[in-house]
Chain A
């Protein structure tokens, strides 16, 4: 159990969850994990994962996706460090609000970075949204105030302020932000946080929250492979909900935040947990148990393989499934090209054309004439039968090796396999070669032969003697 807890803490730290937050979190999980509930459960490691998952969700919840738009003019202010993605998020948010039937206006209040105003204007053009900009302005506080006045005159009912990026230790610029907050009194203030932020996330979020009283957080750049532990840190220090996540450079890539998905991601399982849950619902429980029993014995036949294929197809389109796993969304497109489902149906067809004996022991039983018969029966080329048998050998080998492992080793192995596969999409699962034993010298071989012959002669003599008696 302690080993499991250490693994979880390591996973959190590697995901960039702040040290103090992870420490508190671990204390809470340890309390629960050492309680009666886990001791009695059948599989403590699974139970631990479940507790950790639940706690993570609890810590990152509750969910509040509402932008709290009022009847009249609502002002939303975005702030954050340099390069966290404020301007892009400003555009995305404008688009979302526009789609809800409101009339947003973007306010270019970043007078610091060269061409920041221009960037927002381009986004406004793309989205067909008005942008309030004043190229001669020097004071963002006045500019924001002027924007509010202009908005009241026109039909605009939501203002989104894109403020300049600033360091939380820059007292002057932080004071300026507080001034804008005072003067404009925005209904909602959102901190934009880069998902890749490390241990420093707590420091900056804390200072921003103290200066402005944040209402929410928007996390950006979640389309990469960052595990996003900063989400946990920021939620823990500010206590405000994470509203949205940015998942791409395009203006429609803004999604509502889901703590359950984030929890899995932080633990390094991507959406694998979601996948597991989905799988659990769909899988025929009884069938699972039968297979599990067989797996434990190290038996794995083409029939099992077929069932596996069948169950995977039951989960839904494989492209979508792959898309749910972060970092594999690129693979989904590739799989799309290969048309995985059609391939799967072909494989099932080939297996259906086999006799039970052939399914049990394909590599030994299937010879050339059987191969031709199966191919004809399934309507495929004979070499495809061969490929299937080869692939099956690889998988069967893995299954056999896995049969002796605990859940963690299995997970690790699955990870290795999928990583290997991802790096070489064309690669097949290779069968691990067994030992061929010691290579003998000609002399040793001659000796062994001599011994064998001697033994045979001895046995012959014995049978002769027995017969005489």
Chain B
């Protein structure tokens, strides 16, 4: 199964709901665009978690373009798709690999968003590309977080650097980079403890880890990935803002997209914080990670509508 299919599969649930709604909207071909129509459209958009602002803007655009006209569904859908695609556009290469030496990737996020699992998936992907991978278990706070990553490292066959529970995470991060340099690894992924973006002390600790990663390799970390739970609502925006302030995030891994949640908050995040989505998580297994592609992402959402 190609990446594209996997991507589509992950989105099927998401797609179904939005598609039904849209199809409901356009039951009779050529419906009049009135307030009721726009309200229904607004509801469908809100249900994607894209946020009030993005939904309102989209509705406004449709209002100005189609108000009081009888429309073909194709027209409106194309219009929305176009808008979302422009919004979600981004460079093609997800990871900015270092020219020489190990590429350091730092992973951060709130509690329970799926950081450790995402790291395992990223690790597997790099290993599959024939790269040598070192994992750093810098979540020294949560009970058994180190064990969780160690189990993954064993399953994948990756090197791992750990520290005792309660020890300084920055020191684990430092040793991870040292290990990567020592064994000549290609990629080094550093896990961090989950933290809510409002916990100032913990956010400062994260900034410290970020700083320490750059001690041995000045450009490191090359990537800072924020893991975002696809079920997250509007709080995702606050997460993106605060984590970017603390550690200059370079992209998002949208985890748990295999449920019915739409993860539409990334639209609002893109709009307000500018952070692009790089990967999506579509299952619990190590291979359930796919590249985020805006065009199929948006197309998959409206696939059936466009064909009907």
Contacts and interface: CB of A to CB of B under 8 A. Distances in A.
B35 to A, nearest CB: 13
B198 A224 contact: yes
A229 B113 contact: no
Contacts of A19: 43, 46-47
B48 interface: yes
A6 to B, nearest CB: 11
A198 B233 contact: yes
A169 B199 CA distance: 33
Nearest to B48: A199
B111 A83 contact: yes
A200 B261 contact: yes
Contacts of B165: 122
Contact of B233 (A84, A169, A204, A229): A229
Contacts of B143: 118-120, 122-123, 126
A82 B114 contact: yes
A232 to B, nearest CB: 12
A277 B23 CA distance: 48
Interface in B238-286: 238, 256, 258-262, 265, 284
Given A19-B43, A200-B49, A224-B196, A114 B234 contact: no
A13 B47 CA distance: 10
A47 B198 CA distance: 32
A85 B231 contact: no
A196 interface: yes
Nearest to A173: B284
B66 interface: no
Nearest to B142: A119
Contacts of A224: 110, 196-199, 235, 238
Nearest to B227: A83
Contact of A200 (B51, B114, B234, B260): B260
B52 interface: yes
Interface in B171-210: 196-200
A221 B234 contact: no
B144 A122 contact: yes
Contact of A15 (B152, B197, B234, B259): B234
Contact of A230 (B152, B233, B236): B233
Nearest to B44: A19
Nearest to B42: A19
A391 to B, nearest CB: 25
Interface residues of A, number: 49
B151 A115 contact: yes
A115 B235 contact: no
B13 interface: yes
B50 to A, nearest CB: 10
B113 A198 contact: no
Interface residues of B, number: 45
A136 to B, nearest CB: 15
B96 interface: no
Interface in A220-274: 221, 223-227, 229-230, 249
Contacts of B198: 223-225, 327, 330
Contacts of A122: 143-144, 165
Interface string B138-149: 000111110110
Contacts of B151: 114-115
A83 B259 contact: no
Contacts of A203: 260-261
Interface string A181-214: 0000000000000111111110110000000000
A113 B259 contact: no
A201 B233 CA distance: 9
Interface in A72-86: 81-85
A122 B164 CA distance: 13
B235 A226 contact: yes
Contacts of B142: 119, 249
A196 B52 contact: no
A414 interface: no
A131 B147 CA distance: 18
A13 B52 contact: yes
B196 A82 contact: no
Interface in A116-172: 116, 118-123, 126, 167-169
A449 to B, nearest CB: 54
B57 to A, nearest CB: 14
A345 interface: no
A450 interface: no
Contacts of A169: 13, 258-260
A204 B259 contact: yes
Contact of A194 (B49, B199, B200, B231): B231
B262 A199 contact: yes
A82 B256 contact: yes
B112 interface: yes
17 contacts: A16-B49, A16-B234, A16-B235, A82-B256, A114-B151, A115-B150, A119-B148, A122-B143, A126-B143, A169-B258, A169-B259, A197-B232, A198-B49, A198-B231, A199-B233, A200-B261, A225-B198
Interface of A: 10, 13-16, 19, 23, 81-85, 88, 112-116, 118-123, 126, 167-169, 194-201, 203-204, 221, 223-227, 229-230, 249, 327, 330
Q: Ordered nearest first, which 4 A-B pairs have the shortest CB separation? A: A198-B233, A83-B112, A16-B233, A122-B143
Given A16-B235, A203-B260, 15 more contacts: A83-B112, A83-B229, A88-B111, A118-B144, A122-B143, A169-B13, A169-B258, A194-B112, A194-B229, A196-B232, A198-B232, A200-B259, A201-B233, A204-B260, A330-B200
